[in-house]
A and B are shown apart, each in its own frame.
Chain A
Amino acid sequence: DIQMTQSPSSLSASVGDRVSITCRASQDIGKSVAWYQQRPGKAPRLLFFAASRLESGVPSRFSGSGSGTDYTLTISGLQPEDFATYYCQQYYTIPQTFGLGTKVEIK
């Protein structure tokens, strides 16, 4: 299975900050990466697919980038509703696998 190593596991930030979360795959996954946001008690919400393609309805303060084995999710100008846990997922091969998540907390 392809391993997705996500970092950091948690971070503290303030409203308005810019934060970045990275995901490293154990092999080249050719931009077959999705990012999800999960608020407590809720289902994951798709933010990006194909590494950088913004899902409909997702605010433009979110951006995704990367290629090969390294991928980044950036939030520019954190809003109160952005405090949540974020997960990456590779779908290059089966089984599709997820990172362990990054919890974004209020400083």
Chain B
Amino acid sequence: QLQLQESGPGLVKPSETLSLSCTVSGASISSNNDYWGWIRQSPGKGLEWIGSFHYSGSTYTRPSLKSRVTMSGDTSRNQISLKLTSVTAADTAVYYCARQRNLPGGYFDLWGRGTLVSVSS
């Protein structure tokens, strides 16, 4: 059974880098057919797609976040990772990882439980 679990610090200071991992179990992140997405949810902005990653290194990123986002994968740990630099309070949200279907734009058929990240000094 495919499961995804996000992990990372719940509190990040303004201007610092938010780093999250998503551990995938029940499937390999190196599956050729799968992209892995990051989505966040904040009260003010609802659900917002951040970017999607393929183990080959191919990525798609939200244009407004592209300069601050890095996504990567570790096949030995079956994890995908997200880094968001220069965070502000506007980056406070619940962050989800999810498996994406359909490319390059896609829908998300399996989600992690999400992890709340607050940006505050």
Contacts and interface: CB of A to CB of B under 8 A. Distances in A.
B114 interface: yes
Contacts of B108: 34, 36, 44, 46, 89
Interface string A32-76: 101010000011111001000001000000000000000000000
Contacts, number: 59
Contact of A91 (B47, B98, B106, B114): B106
Nearest to B110: A46
A92 to B, nearest CB: 6
Interface in A78-104: 87, 89-101
A29 to B, nearest CB: 10
B32 interface: no
A91 B110 CA distance: 16
Interface residues of B, number: 23
A91 B46 contact: no
A35 B98 CA distance: 15
A87 B102 contact: no
B50 to A, nearest CB: 9
B107 A92 contact: no
A49 B111 contact: no
Contacts of A36: 108
Contact of A97 (B49, B98, B112): B49
27 contacts: A32-B102, A34-B107, A36-B108, A43-B111, A43-B112, A43-B114, A44-B96, A46-B108, A46-B109, A46-B110, A49-B101, A49-B107, A49-B109, A87-B46, A87-B47, A89-B47, A89-B107, A91-B105, A91-B107, A93-B105, A94-B60, A96-B49, A96-B106, A96-B107, A97-B49, A98-B46, A98-B49
